[in-house]
């Protein structure tokens, strides 16, 4: 029975993958010569450090256009400043969709900003592709067919730590410190889901803090007194540094898992004290431009050449510039797959049809896979451990891909 269905299924797949072979089909924003893509980024305001992402994406498309474009079509990347203010994002998204008539929006940045436009984009049936935020809610194809994330989301990452604990120390007694907001709870949920039925038994203590609190010292004391031997640290950089120092100074020596949000050596581990951070386990998925391992890596060499030629003002130590390069490369692949059918529906279909796609600025072994029911492109990270000077990758790439 199953075998008899196979040819029919193959036909169906072919029909979906190559609709209208040899025939061009366009939605607004696409033509024989051009593909218009819209974006919002905070080039001004409190979050303007993220603006590097928008600039490196624009630089990437300049390079693509110099190479002759995608399927002979030039990319017209229109990006506007929203200052990280959701009302401005709404205004700019409407401008891009209704006035500039872009084919779709790509890499709009920020969780609140994307929340603000999600309903609008889905009502208009315009793709909101590869949004630049780590929240888990972008992987919801049932309710939001037109919205898709890109980077490993918080829950995915937390599940991977849980997996590692279950594999290496199934009898661990775990203490969790988390920031009391969406971001913190997103991580906590992923972690508890990852531990599964063991969660209630294994997590012996939980403490939360508010962003407005001056320190997390008392929370660390509380967690230490629970007798836990494992610590999952879900904190933003300032609090991460405090937690690392406090855990060390109180003589608590747990196996320490730190979320990816705060895995910067310069802004977290150094202020905490490098010696106090030895042994910390965290995760990564993009090659760190400051990491000596990649000094002679061909992919990173290509990236440095790209930076010199197309983004000369960009900071060569800024991981955001690798991020922008990598996500733009993902989009290039989606557009290649779209062929001459540049409709909004097909853009979504092809974005949801990436099969183990590899970008060499991501860590070795990390691939991008999506499907109509899986809107989470990167679902793998590699664990790394701090040796007192730098992070060392260890073990295999751990994937949460179903």
Partner 1 sequence: MTRRAATVTLVLLALACVLPFVLTNYHTFQATLVLVYAIALLGLNILTGYNGQISLGHGAFYAIGAYVAAMLMDQAGMPYWATIPIAGAVCLVAGFLFGLPALRLEGLYLALATFALAVSMPPILKAHFIEKWTGGVQGIVIVKPDPPAFLAAVGIKLNADQWLYFFVLAIALVAFLLGWNLISGRIGRALVAIRDHHTAAEAMGINTALYKSLAFGVSALYTGVAGALGAIAVQFVAPDSFNVFVSLAFLVGIVVGGLASLTGALYGALFIQFVPNIADELSKAAPWAVFGVFLIAFVYLMPTGAAGAVRALTRRRSEGKLSHAKEALP
Binding residue for partner 1, selected from 29, 37, 53, 55, defined by CB under 8 A? 55
- Given a contact cutoff of 8 angstroms between Cβ atoms, the answer to whether 24 and 32 are in contact is yes
Query: Residue 43 CB, nearest distance to partner 1 (Å)?
Result: 5
Query: Residue 208 CB, nearest distance to partner 1 (Å)?
Result: 9
Residues 173-212, interacting with partner 1 (CB under 8 A)? 180-183, 210-212
120 makes contact with partner 1 (CB under 8 A): yes
Q: Which two tokens stand for residue 81?
A: 């400043």
Query: Residue 109 CB, nearest distance to partner 1 (Å)?
Result: 12
Candidates 106-114, 145-153, 218-226, 347-355; binding stretch for partner 1 (CB under 8 A): 106-114
Nearer to partner 1, 137 or 164 (CB): 137
Compute CA distances 341 → 23, 291, 335, whole Å.
8, 41, 9
Q: To which residue do tokens 């802004």 refer?
A: 267
Query: Residue 115 CB, nearest distance to partner 1 (Å)?
Result: 6
CB atoms within 10 A of CB 83: 19
Query: Residue 89 CB, nearest distance to partner 1 (Å)?
Result: 9
**Longest alpha-carbon distance in the chain:** 69
Task: State how far Cα 247 lies from the chain centre.
Answer: 29
Which of these, 156, 177, 323, lies nearest to 236 by C-alpha position? 177
Query: Residue 182 CB, nearest distance to partner 1 (Å)?
Result: 5
Query: Residue 108 CB, nearest distance to partner 1 (Å)?
Result: 14
Nearer to partner 1, 179 or 369 (CB): 179
| 3-class secondary-structure state, position 106 | strand
Q: What is the dihedral of CA 88, 56, 378, 114, to 10 degrees?
A: 0
Nearer to partner 1, 54 or 254 (CB): 54
Which of these, 125, 60, 117, lies nearest to 86 by C-alpha position? 117
Binding residue for partner 1, selected from 31, 115, 122, 198, defined by CB under 8 A? 115
Binding residue for partner 1, selected from 50, 61, 77, 84, defined by CB under 8 A? 84
Contact code string over 212-241 relative to partner 1, x by CB under 8 A: x-----------------------------
95 makes contact with partner 1 (CB under 8 A): yes
Q: Is 163 exposed, middle or buried, given 0-12, 13-18 or 19+ CB atoms closer than 10 A?
A: middle
Compute CA distances 7 → 1, 175, 381, 400, whole Å.
12, 53, 36, 31
| 3-class secondary-structure state, position 125 | coil
CB atoms within 10 A of CB 20: 13
Binding residue for partner 1, selected from 90, 204, 265, 299, defined by CB under 8 A? 90
Q: Which two tokens stand for residue 33?
A: 């010569």
66 makes contact with partner 1 (CB under 8 A): no
Binding site for partner 1 (CB under 8 A): 43-46, 51, 54-55, 79-81, 83-88, 90-91, 94-95, 97-99, 110-113, 115-116, 118-120, 180-183, 210-212, 313
């Amino acid at each position: 029975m199953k075998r008899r269905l196979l040819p029919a299924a193959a036909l169906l797949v072919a029909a979906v993958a190559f609709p209208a072979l040899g025939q061009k089909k366009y939605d607004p924003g696409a033509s024989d010569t051009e593909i218009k893509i819209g974006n919002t980024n905070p080039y001004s305001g409190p979050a303007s450090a993220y603006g590097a992402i928008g600039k490196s994406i624009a630089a990437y498309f300049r390079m693509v256009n110099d190479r002759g474009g995608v399927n002979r079509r030039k990319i017209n990347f229109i990006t506007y400043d929203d200052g990280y203010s959701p009302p401005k994002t709404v205004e700019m998204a409407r401008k891009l969709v209704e006035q500039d008539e872009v084919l779709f929006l790509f890499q709009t940045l920020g969780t609140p900003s994307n929340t603000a436009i999600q309903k609008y984009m889905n009502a208009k049936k315009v793709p909101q592709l590869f949004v630049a935020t780590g929240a888990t809610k972008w992987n919801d194809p049932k309710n939001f067919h037109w919205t898709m994330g890109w980077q490993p989301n918080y829950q995915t990452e937390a599940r991977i730590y849980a997996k590692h604990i279950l594999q290496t120390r199934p009898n661990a007694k775990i203490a969790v410190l988390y920031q009391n907001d969406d971001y913190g709870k997103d991580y906590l949920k992923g972690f508890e889901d990852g531990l599964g039925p063991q969660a209630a038994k294994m997590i012996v203590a939980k403490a939360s803090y508010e962003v407005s609190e001056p320190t997390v010292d008392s929370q660390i004391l509380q967690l230490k007194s629970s007798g836990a031997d494992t610590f999952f640290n879900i904190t933003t950089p300032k609090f991460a540094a405090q937690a690392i120092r406090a855990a060390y100074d109180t003589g608590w020596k747990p196996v320490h898992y730190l979320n990816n949000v705060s895995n910067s050596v310069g802004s977290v581990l150094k202020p905490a004290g490098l010696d106090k951070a030895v042994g910390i386990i965290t995760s990564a998925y993009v090659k760190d431009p400051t990491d000596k391992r990649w000094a002679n890596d061909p992919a990173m060499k290509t990236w440095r050449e790209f930076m010199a030629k197309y983004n000369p003002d960009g900071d060569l130590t800024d991981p955001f510039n690798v991020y922008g390069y990598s996500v733009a490369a993902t989009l290039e692949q989606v557009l290649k797959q779209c062929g001459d059918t540049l409709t909004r529906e097909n853009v979504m279909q092809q974005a949801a049809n990436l099969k183990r796609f590899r970008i060499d600025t991501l860590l070795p072994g990390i691939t991008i896979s999506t499907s109509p029911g899986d809107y989470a492109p990167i679902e793998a990270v590699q664990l790394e451990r701090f040796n007192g000077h730098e992070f060392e990758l260890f073990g295999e790439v751990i994937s949460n891909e179903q």
